[in-house]
A = this chain, B = another copy of it.
């Protein structure tokens, strides 16, 4: 081990590195929310965070890399609130509908999240990591209770994640219609074996609001 390696492991250096990383993340998020992801440069970010270029590249390679932890944290916070909201709901179809609608509404309202999912090379992995096992868990419960039709879990997961990414990529980047989230929830319920009459009715029910940050 060289002296440099040793120095990098010291708690003080570690804390300094972590503080710089947090400053970069905060500066990047604020700039991108204000000016849009495309117009913000890495130079803008390092200027605002008051760090050198070298420090930036110690932590990230591209603007996309900076967005990974920002959007992952957004998705995780969203999922915690959603899990709280749906924890006591009995009907798996209701839970899947509410989850799909809230997720799509949240992505739709967040230009960083939309940009990220539209530009990521692996949007399905990103979305899966962000929402954790919540979606898969809700689908499994519904199948176990006979509320949903039988399915191959692995194929259904890819199918449903891909379908949501498809809707985000083609409907959230420009001007989008109302009811996109509701129509996507309706198709999701149909995919799970719910009849259209019921799927339409459930997907268009009043949407209970998410609890505030928990």
Most buried by B among A161, A166, A167, A192: A166
A83 to chain B, nearest CB (A): 23
Given A158-B170, A180-B155, A191-B193 contact (CB < 8 Å): no
A100 to chain B, nearest CB (A): 11
Q: Does chain B have a CB within 8 A of A64? A: no
Q: Does chain B have a CB within 8 A of A91? A: no
Chain B residue nearest to A197 in the complex (CB): B149
Number of interface residues of A (CB under 8 A): 35
Interface string of A139-177 (1 = CB under 8 A from B): 000000000011110111111111111110111000001
Measured between alpha carbons, how far is A162 from B169 in the docked complex, in Å? Answer: 9
Contact of A166 among B152, B165, B179 (CB under 8 A): B165
Binding site for B on A (CB under 8 A): 121, 124, 149-152, 154-167, 169-171, 177, 179-180, 183-184, 187, 190-193, 195-196
Q: Other than the known A158-B171, A190-B191, what 16 A-B pairs have Cβ atoms closer than 8 Å?
A: A121-B121, A124-B166, A124-B170, A152-B177, A152-B179, A155-B167, A156-B183, A158-B170, A159-B167, A160-B166, A161-B166, A162-B163, A163-B191, A187-B191, A190-B193, A191-B191
